Structure 1
Amino acid sequence: MMRHDEKITPASPTGNGPAPSQNLPVQRPTLSPSIKWLSVLVVLVATAGSIPLLLDFVHASDASTGYAICSPAGKDAIYTVSNDLPQVECFSVLGNKIQSVGSLAQVKFKWYSSFLLKTILKGTPGQRWDLPIHIIPDGAIVVPGISDSHAHILEFGATQQLPLEGTKTVEETVTRVRNFVLSNSDIFIDKTRLITGGGWDHTVWPNGTLPTMQALDSDPILRGRPIVLQSKDCHALWVSSEALKPSYPLPEEIEGGVIVRDGDKKPTGVLIDNAQELLKQPKLTHDDLLRRFKVTVREAHKHGLTSIHDAGLDPMSLDFFHGQATKGPLPIRIYGMKFFNETAGYTPGIPHILLPERRLQVRSIKIFVDGALRTGGAALYEPYADNPSTSGFMRIDMAVLRDVIPKFLRDGWQVNVHAIGDRANGALLDVFESVLQGINVTALRPRLEHAQMMTKEDMARLGKLGVIASVQPTHAISDMWYAQDRLGPERIKRLYAFRSIINDGARITLGSDFPVESINPLAGFYAAITRLSFEGTSPHGPEGWFPEQRLTRGEALKGMTLDPAYASFTESELGSIEAGKLADFVVLSANIMTVPGNEIMSTKVLTTAIDGEVVYGTL
């Protein structure tokens, strides 16, 4: 970016001649009390309406910690996501906060006013009040720091070791695993080394059949190695026989899950939903976790993410993040959802982890109600169209939900519940409706994680209750190719019905569920406003899959900035570019609010800043 250093040299304290030379002894101002307070009055009158904020900045850091970001001349290229000033020319940053927002003249006035007040009130001698101004490139825009309201941080780092998404057959997937082993000498030499990867998707393979451990065991390079491969939706594990050995004997059945078996009732090597918990794996080391974390943070910053809501921190992950935060501020803001262990049940008095200055907050609980549509575990009212023998399953006893949800809410925990099928969402809304009567929902902000499919009556009930719908638009364009076969032509109309949810008064917040989908938040923005594949196609043609359910660009931007802030109780500090909020912002190479839809995914992140500090790119 271009940088212009705007400098002002204040008059001497007596008003006669230039300011004292930097090489000469500095004298304190000798204003009489009456003149001093008259000057204060003039500045305060001129800045009426922002006096408290201005006084805050009087006591803030000095000018060396500040700068301004501005649009090219004659343009308002900063999208604030604020109703008062939706687009502006400039904003200034002082310390870790946004000082002012508006035109260049307004930003300069606020900047110099704060330092003039500091000089008058504190007697600070004639310091230089430089305001570095960074002009963004022509065609670029600035948006608030982007949040992903539903993702899995360490899991993403794990899948990047061996990504399997995009393979078209079982054989191609096995080949990718084999090539990974052959290209890593330390893994090739040590046959006991656990091999992990993720992203396989059987729905795009011929006949949509699930893989088997035989496919891994029959390869001479992979035979005898422990291999654990996570499915694209993270609701199934495909394992080798060597990886499954420590978990024997397996139970015949497991509630809320499936051990896939062959015609002889023998396990095939695929474990679905709660059955995944049966697999015994080596304990991860701190270095393993740190390596995964660094991979995710690097990719997050690269794509403009400044905050992530981690949807289900198990004790190991929670301890890791807490430990990292005690050493210093995390490199990205994390809003953690504590994983609910049904076996352990409800434990009263568990304290929240609130370390905003260390960028970690854990004040919500994550509960699973059902499985996923892709693997046939989403709980439906009617059987699956392509498998009438099942209507999915609930992963938790409803009696447990009715017992623990009121207790968590009473203890001040936000309750976030994974619910995908219409039966799962309906059952959960029944519980919320029974416990939210007469309660300040705004103070609790319960969330439906995914909210993929609901009856029309439940969509209306969602808005009436004030429950937040945490949705993932990229799931829609991934599932649109197989979903009608699975649900039939009528039920499909209620899948990913984002516009209907908003029209019924509910608040939505956007995420990706990475590593299930791309970590790039622009993919979610694109999917929300187009409902097209990245190639520009859909089962319903170039207008998009059920185009009446598209979001506007303004709704999509708000859904990945201010709405996630609201969903994490941080809307007073994050989510928009407004004076007094923390200085999280992103510079994009193109104007995603106006460019044709097919140009959105070619947009690059030029700068990602957290607390005013650049963590990716440059200013």
Structure 2
Amino acid sequence: MPATSESSSSSRSCSISGIHSRRSRAPPGSRRRRPPGRTRSPRSRPSTASPNSVEESMRRLSAGLLCLVWAACARKADLVISGGMVWTGLSTGAPRPGNVAVAGGKILAIEDDAGIARYVGPHTERIRANGGLVMPGFTDGHTHFVDGGFQLASVDLRNAATPAEFVRRIKQYAATLRPGEWILGGDWDHTLWPGQPLPRHEWIDSVTPDNPVFVNRLDGHEALANAAALRAAGVTKDTPTPPGGEILRDSRTGEPLGIFKDRALDVIGRAMPEPSPERRDSALARALAYAASLGVTATAHMSASWADLASYRRLDRAGRLTLRAALYLPLDDWRTVADSVRRAGASDPWLKIGGLKGFMDGSAGSRTAYFFEPYSDSAGYRGLLQHPEADMRRWIGNADSAGLQIAVHAIGDRANAILLSIYDSVTQVHGPRDRRFRIEHAQHLRPEDIPSFGRLGVIASMQPYHAIDDGRWVERRIGPVRIKTTYAFRTLFDTGARLAFGSDWTVAPLDPILGVYAAVTRRTLDGKNPGGWIPEQKISVGEALRAYTSGNAYATFDEATRGTLAPGYDADVVVLDRNLFAMAPDSLDQARVRYTIAGGKVVYRR
């Protein structure tokens, strides 16, 4: 193999199989390794005309021979995945048979059976994919990751199908606690119950006399407090309702019923004890293990707290992170975030401050998403903004001036339209730069607003599972016209928007395979839409996978290091037990993860 000349340094190097690795910061505790496919050579004099042409020729010949010898001893892989259908993520097309070699935490090569042999050494670990899909690790573009870890150890109310079952599960869980311990999480869904009544604190007071309870609806935008929690927070009928929130009250007495929505959640939240660092670290560790079992190798952790960031940093220093995390901290704390990024830098290979997360409105399930027209089942009511529009414009403008990425929750069509307008005006005032504004959820859009995503370069950070869940009931909320551009995956793609898919865990299951199934089939959870709910908004398997891989890498400014399988990229890989591209769409949810590899290490195997 001939030597190549680098004119900038007049040095010579050689490459193997055309693999050129990017330099990247090594994970904590590891040594920087020489990039695959490159070898250093001594500096030589510039190649200028010389009477001693024989000496120059010999020098060239020696360099060439050195490269040939080095090539014959090509770097051996730490890990080789063979016998799979490899989908690199570079396009939405189908995968091809192939093998993946990994070394030093990076992709070393992607080769056919003959080509991969040179990378296999005596210490190379072998994984046989047996025809399953080999693809970039899934990135979940929107989680509440540490909260998910806490929920894994808390009461599970998600599929409690009746009020009686709801009460029974809380009673059973309370029996395992000491007096005074809070019961949190839950993720209940009253739309499963006959008549869909919201719970009241009287339902659970008698079974939780000694334990404050504050269990949230699965969308996280309303929660039920029991009498003990109301006492702990000092809530009475005279407690004012905060702007951007709602406290449900008895229509006769004015006494709180126990339901708190959006900004009113803080009324109870202020009374809740902060978990110890040890408990938070344990929750994060649980979440990491669970994510690895589902093939998730990176996440954007939304609405993270400073305590969450400290927990990630502790596990990062201990070498215990098994996924890459970008944390988005509160928008109204933009100044502190900007100072922190300036002082400490934004990232290392496993952890970074991604930017800021804000809220425009609430959710359709809690009737707090903000619409232009009233809810179809609530005359005259349009939802609510969590913050005045003027505050949002000021915070977003200031954060953008500080160079921070901004991600804002918007669900109702009016909330999305206002946010797009804010992003547009900030861009015009501050001038062009690579901002990558994000709208989290972007669920209900007016047709005329959809092209603005592509025009403004706004990322639509969406959660496909919400579509097949909400599709059971949302038409009753907003009517048959507005649902036509609800979860408008196809139209957003076709108008040039970039999509980044996630789960919103714990609001929805973390499993990205369920998200792919939802985006491709749009079959609602009640089984009433076998052909797909709003079927014209379906997308292909390849499009859904790109939104879960390279789309998310782009959304966090990481497209140069992860999101695809290519030499020099981070070796974050998932091996499935079957090829999603060859499956019937309605069976996609049956696929399972066999191996998860993060940074070149196997972190899960089944």
Alignment TM-score, normalising by the size of structure 2: 0.85
Query: Which digits, 9 at most, give the CA deviation of each residue in 1:588-619, with x for residues without a partner?
Result: 0011122112322221111000011000017x
For 2:224, the aligned partner's letter is W
Query: Which digits, 9 at most, give the CA deviation of each residue in 1:102-136, with x for residues without a partner?
Result: 32333445x49xxxxxxxxxxxxxxxx54747352
SS of the equivalent of 1:489 reads helix
Structure 1 unaligned spans of 5+: 1-37, 113-128
1:268 and 2:260 matched: no
Partner in structure 2 of residue 78 of structure 1: 86
Alpha-carbon contact 1:80-1:87 (below 8 Å) kept: no
Alpha-carbon separation, structure 2, partners of 1:566 and 1:574: 9
Alpha-carbon contact 1:328-1:358 (below 8 Å) kept: no
Partner in structure 2 of residue 227 of structure 1: 213
1:462 and 2:453 matched: yes
Pick one of 442, 447, 466 that aligns with 1:451: 442
SS of the equivalent of 1:582 reads coil
Cα deviation, residue 322, structure 1: 2.9
> Residue 48 and residue 511 in structure 1: after superposition, are their counterparts in 2 closer, same or farther (change >3 A)?
closer
1:373 and 2:349 matched: no
Pick one of 553, 566, 584 that aligns with 2:541: 553
1:198 and 2:186 matched: yes
> Residue 39 and residue 427 in structure 1: after superposition, are their counterparts in 2 closer, same or farther (change >3 A)?
closer
Segment drifting more, 139-148 vs 437-446: 437-446
Alpha-carbon separation, structure 2, partners of 1:145 and 1:509: 14
Alpha-carbon separation, structure 2, partners of 1:273 and 1:527: 27
> Residue 351 and residue 595 in structure 1: after superposition, are their counterparts in 2 closer, same or farther (change >3 A)?
same
Alpha-carbon contact 1:149-1:511 (below 8 Å) kept: yes
> Residue 299 and residue 62 in structure 1: after superposition, are their counterparts in 2 closer, same or farther (change >3 A)?
farther
Alpha-carbon contact 1:230-1:237 (below 8 Å) kept: yes
SS of the equivalent of 1:496 reads coil
SS of the equivalent of 2:393 reads helix
Partner in structure 2 of residue 177 of structure 1: 170
Pick one of 138, 148, 152 that aligns with 2:140: 148
When the two chains are superposed, the root-mean-square deviation of aligned CA atoms in Å is: 2.7
Partner in structure 2 of residue 22 of structure 1: none
Partner in structure 1 of residue 104 of structure 2: 95
Counting only pairs closer than 5 Å after superposition, residues 117-132 of structure 1 correspond to structure 2 as 129-130=121-122, 132=124
Alpha-carbon separation, structure 2, partners of 1:444 and 1:530: 32
Alpha-carbon contact 1:163-1:199 (below 8 Å) kept: yes
For 1:91, the aligned partner's letter is V
Alpha-carbon separation, structure 1, partners of 2:13 and 2:306: 52
Segment drifting more, 154-163 vs 367-376: 154-163
Partner in structure 1 of residue 597 of structure 2: 609
SS of the equivalent of 2:155 reads coil
Alpha-carbon contact 2:284-2:311 (below 8 Å) kept: no
> Residue 315 and residue 48 in structure 1: after superposition, are their counterparts in 2 closer, same or farther (change >3 A)?
closer
Counting only pairs closer than 5 Å after superposition, residues 529-608 of structure 1 correspond to structure 2 as 529-533=520-524, 537-538=527-528, 541-608=529-596
Identity in percent: 30
Alpha-carbon separation, structure 1, partners of 2:462 and 2:537: 13
> Residue 554 and residue 307 in structure 1: after superposition, are their counterparts in 2 closer, same or farther (change >3 A)?
same
For 1:524, the aligned partner's letter is G
Cα deviation, residue 297, structure 1: 1.1
1:237 and 2:230 matched: no
SS of the equivalent of 1:513 reads coil
Alpha-carbon separation, structure 2, partners of 1:527 and 1:53: 35
For 1:368, the aligned partner's letter is F
SS of the equivalent of 1:487 reads helix
For 1:82, the aligned partner's letter is L
Segment drifting more, 344-353 vs 143-152: 344-353
Alpha-carbon separation, structure 2, partners of 1:191 and 1:52: 57
Alignment TM-score, normalising by the size of structure 1: 0.83
Alpha-carbon separation, structure 2, partners of 1:439 and 1:143: 39
Alpha-carbon contact 1:565-1:575 (below 8 Å) kept: yes
For 1:146, the aligned partner's letter is F
Cα deviation, residue 272, structure 1: 0.5
> Residue 294 and residue 411 in structure 1: after superposition, are their counterparts in 2 closer, same or farther (change >3 A)?
same
SS of the equivalent of 1:371 reads coil
> Residue 338 and residue 53 in structure 1: after superposition, are their counterparts in 2 closer, same or farther (change >3 A)?
closer
1:56 and 2:35 matched: yes
SS of the equivalent of 2:339 reads coil
Alpha-carbon contact 2:469-2:525 (below 8 Å) kept: no
> Residue 83 and residue 358 in structure 1: after superposition, are their counterparts in 2 closer, same or farther (change >3 A)?
closer
SS of the equivalent of 2:79 reads strand
Alpha-carbon separation, structure 2, partners of 1:576 and 1:52: 14
> Residue 130 and residue 237 in structure 1: after superposition, are their counterparts in 2 closer, same or farther (change >3 A)?
same
Partner in structure 1 of residue 375 of structure 2: 384
Partner in structure 2 of residue 476 of structure 1: 467
1:412 and 2:403 matched: yes
Query: Which digits, 9 at most, give the CA deviation of each residue in 1:286-319, with x for residues without a partner?
Result: 1221221122111100010001110111222223
> Residue 392 and residue 362 in structure 1: after superposition, are their counterparts in 2 closer, same or farther (change >3 A)?
same
Partner in structure 2 of residue 294 of structure 1: 285
> Residue 442 and residue 149 in structure 1: after superposition, are their counterparts in 2 closer, same or farther (change >3 A)?
farther
Counting only pairs closer than 5 Å after superposition, residues 278-317 of structure 1 correspond to structure 2 as 278-279=267-268, 280-317=271-308
> Residue 290 and residue 482 in structure 1: after superposition, are their counterparts in 2 closer, same or farther (change >3 A)?
same
Segment drifting more, 60-69 vs 198-207: 60-69
Alpha-carbon contact 2:376-2:478 (below 8 Å) kept: yes
For 1:608, the aligned partner's letter is T
Alpha-carbon separation, structure 2, partners of 1:336 and 1:98: 25
For 2:456, the aligned partner's letter is L
Alpha-carbon contact 2:371-2:413 (below 8 Å) kept: yes
Cα deviation, residue 506, structure 1: 0.8
> Residue 376 and residue 564 in structure 1: after superposition, are their counterparts in 2 closer, same or farther (change >3 A)?
same
Alpha-carbon separation, structure 2, partners of 1:495 and 1:594: 28
Alpha-carbon contact 1:194-1:225 (below 8 Å) kept: yes
Partner in structure 1 of residue 29 of structure 2: none
